[in-house]
Amino acid sequence: MTNRHHAVLCGIAVGIACTIADISFAEAGWCWGFGCGTNSATVGDNIVFDELNSRGTVTPDNIRIMSAHVVTSAGLQPVRLNVKGHNLTAIDLATPTTIYSGAQLLDMEFTIGHRDGRRYDIKVTKVCAGKETSSSCKPLTFWVPPANYVPYYELTVKKTHTRSRPPLPRRFPLNPDQMRDNDDRAVDTRFDEQLCRGKHLNGDVLWTSVPNAAIFFEGDHYDPEHKVVTTTKQSDGWFNIACSGAAPAKMHLLRHSSAGSDSTHHTNVGQRTAMLKMLTADYCGDGKAWTADGTPLNYADARGWFSTPGFTPASVEPRAVESVWGPTGALCLNDPRRLARTTPPVSPVPTCEPPAVTRAEVVSACKDKNYRLAPPWAITAGGTSSKLPLCSKDWWANPKLHASVAYVMSANKNPWPAGGDYCGGATTTP
């Protein structure tokens, strides 16, 4: 590695690993939403969401909160959900000065309705607002110091009404896990289903203790179609329900959210969008996710806010760098992140797990976009091309990073073989 390349990697000094062994297949990159996994809030019947509105406004996924109540010694009290920062409370509708929080929210239920007539009751079955809340609560903290406690909840679901109107057009294609669900199941008699299902998290040390956690936070809107972050006002009532392992939850715990910011940690929407595009592998910047829940990956942001044991970006071999990311997607790309295909392993290594897609497939999909042949901070002009460039030594032309452009570096989690690509064959030398 050249000193110049070494200096640039030092500029993106530290990162975080998302390493999960149990994975689901990403269908050749054509995945909308936040990816091809199932770690978003799911109430069954293929209704998946990441955002709700406390004032009853209908979401783009045709869902709205219809009612809510808490359980008190005086009986059931109608309430309105309220999220400020990452703190969930419930405001008494009869006496708005009465606000329920913490353990008072245990057994609270709220009803969400879909425009086609289906309805679901969601029940709070565990409240973990801090280490003192319950002995059964495992601590969940920010991944970026200071490691303050992040309140979370476990929620279960019961279907109460079936479809009464014709199906509405789907916003995104179904992923394979959702296609296995019954789209018109019967009503439920009990709260047997977890809202946050915790799939593909068994090998991830960051989530194994809280696989069914739901984090409530406001201040950011995640556009699942275009993978762009915008800000929201608390007074408008929009909030995220971020399940363990899903992109919005990672964004918050990385302090790349309004609610996760403090006096020394603040990011703009461009930096947050760059992080979101990296997490979802939106290489072309057009919103298509080329990954799935459970794909092993190392990544680092230019701020150096978090370091993961065993991952040292400054010493990463150049060809092991997957991509460098900005708010428009990948700025350069070597080989896409690993994910086992459904096709047989490539010889001569029977156990090889190639990337889910090849670099050529990604480059072909991104061909209508202009890319700089050298970073915008390079001393020499590099021109532009319609081909997504390699993260080569030439691309790393100057070590002076501009954080608003190149903000995140991703690297393949598992080591490269000494003389070849993932499967022991020839590889491009960045």
Residues 319 and 236 in one domain: no
Residues 3 and 63 in one domain: no
CA distance 320 to 311: 12
- What is the mean pLDDT of the segment spanning 82-111? 97
**Least reliable range by pLDDT among 140-154, 184-198, 288-302, 389-403:** 389-403
User: How much is the pLDDT for 11?
Assistant: 40
Q: Which of the four pLDDT bands, split at 50, 70 and 90, describes residue 426?
A: very low
Q: Which of 214, 246, 280 is the last residue of a domain?
A: 280
Q: Which of the four pLDDT bands, split at 50, 70 and 90, describes residue 375?
A: low
Give me 316's structure tokens. Answer: 């990463």
For residue 209, give every residue at least 6 positions away whose Cβ sits within 8 Å of its Cβ, in sequence order, or none: 138, 139, 140
User: How much is the pLDDT for 17?
Assistant: 32
**Least reliable range by pLDDT among 18-27, 98-107, 134-143, 408-417:** 18-27
List C-alpha distances in Å: 111 to 42, 69, 101, 323: 14, 9, 19, 42
List C-alpha distances in Å: 312 to 15, 39, 146, 305: 8, 28, 21, 13
- What is the mean pLDDT of the segment spanning 295-305? 82
Q: Is 30 within a domain?
A: no
Residue 182's Cβ-side half-sphere holds a number of Cα atoms within 13 Å equal to 8
Whether residue 345 has pLDDT greater than 50 = no
**Least reliable range by pLDDT among 4-13, 195-204, 211-220, 241-250:** 4-13
Residues 11 and 46 in one domain: no
Whether residue 22 has pLDDT greater than 70 = no
Q: Which of the four pLDDT bands, split at 50, 70 and 90, describes residue 190?
A: very high
CA distance 174 to 279: 20
The candidate with the shortest Cα–Cα distance to 53, out of 81, 78, 90, 34, is 81
Give 365-368 contacts, CB < 8 A, sequence gap 24+.
Answer: 365/29, 365/283, 365/284, 365/288, 366/283, 366/284, 366/285, 366/329, 366/330
Whether residue 413 has pLDDT greater than 60 = yes
User: How much is the pLDDT for 316?
Assistant: 73
For the stretch 97-114, pLDDT in tens is 999 999 999 999 999 999
Q: Is 285 within a domain?
A: no
Q: Is 291 within a domain?
A: no
> What is the largest distance, in Å, between two alpha-carbon atoms of the chain?
73
Q: Is 24 within a domain?
A: no
Q: Which of the four pLDDT bands, split at 50, 70 and 90, describes residue 201?
A: confident
User: How much is the pLDDT for 401?
Assistant: 45
Q: Greater confidence, 54 or 353?
A: 54
Residues 351 and 272 in one domain: no
Q: Which residues of 243-265 are buried (b: 16+ CB within 10 A; e: fewer)?
A: bbbbbbbbbbbbbbbbbbeeeeb
CB-CB contact of 17 with 250 (8 Å): no
User: How much is the pLDDT for 71?
Assistant: 97
Whether residue 10 has pLDDT greater than 80 = no
Q: Is 287 within a domain?
A: no
Domains in the chain, number: 2
CB-CB contact of 300 with 144 (8 Å): no
List C-alpha distances in Å: 189 to 26, 32, 121, 157: 34, 33, 11, 10
Q: What is the mean pLDDT of the chain?
A: 78
User: How much is the pLDDT for 67?
Assistant: 98
User: How much is the pLDDT for 8?
Assistant: 36
Residues 139 and 225 in one domain: yes
Beta bridge partners of 372: 384
Give me 55's structure tokens. Answer: 């004032």
User: How much is the pLDDT for 181?
Assistant: 53
Residues 301 and 228 in one domain: no
Q: Is 385 within a domain?
A: yes
**CA 5 remoteness from chain centre:** 29
For the stretch 208-244, pLDDT in tens is 889 999 999 999 999 988 999 999 999 999 999 999 9
User: How much is the pLDDT for 359?
Assistant: 84
Q: Is 25 within a domain?
A: no
CB-CB contact of 332 with 388 (8 Å): yes
User: How much is the pLDDT for 176?
Assistant: 54
List C-alpha distances in Å: 191 to 41, 43, 58, 194: 15, 11, 24, 8
Whether residue 340 has pLDDT greater than 90 = no
183: domain range?
38-280
Residues 372 and 311 in one domain: yes
Q: Greater confidence, 387 or 348?
A: 387
Q: Which of the four pLDDT bands, split at 50, 70 and 90, describes residue 309?
A: low
Residues 138 and 228 in one domain: yes
State pTM to two decimals: 0.84
**Least reliable range by pLDDT among 269-278, 353-362, 416-425:** 416-425
Q: Is 353 within a domain?
A: yes
Residues 354 and 232 in one domain: no
Q: Greater confidence, 147 or 36?
A: 147
CB-CB contact of 374 with 397 (8 Å): yes
Determine the straight-line distance between the first and last CA of the chain, rounded to whole angstroms: 11
Residues 11 and 63 in one domain: no
Beta bridge partners of 121: 111, 158
Residues 227 and 300 in one domain: no
Q: Greater confidence, 253 or 171?
A: 253
Q: Is 402 exposed, middle or buried (0-12, 13-18, 19+ CB in 10 A)?
A: middle
Could you count the other beta carbons within 10 Å of the beta carbon of residue 140?
A: 23
Residues 51 and 166 in one domain: yes
Q: What percent of the chain has pLDDT over 90?
A: 43
Q: What are phi and psi of 285, to 5 degrees?
A: 75, 15
Residue with tokens 């006496």: 95
User: How much is the pLDDT for 175?
Assistant: 58
Q: Which of 228, 247, 280 is the last residue of a domain?
A: 280
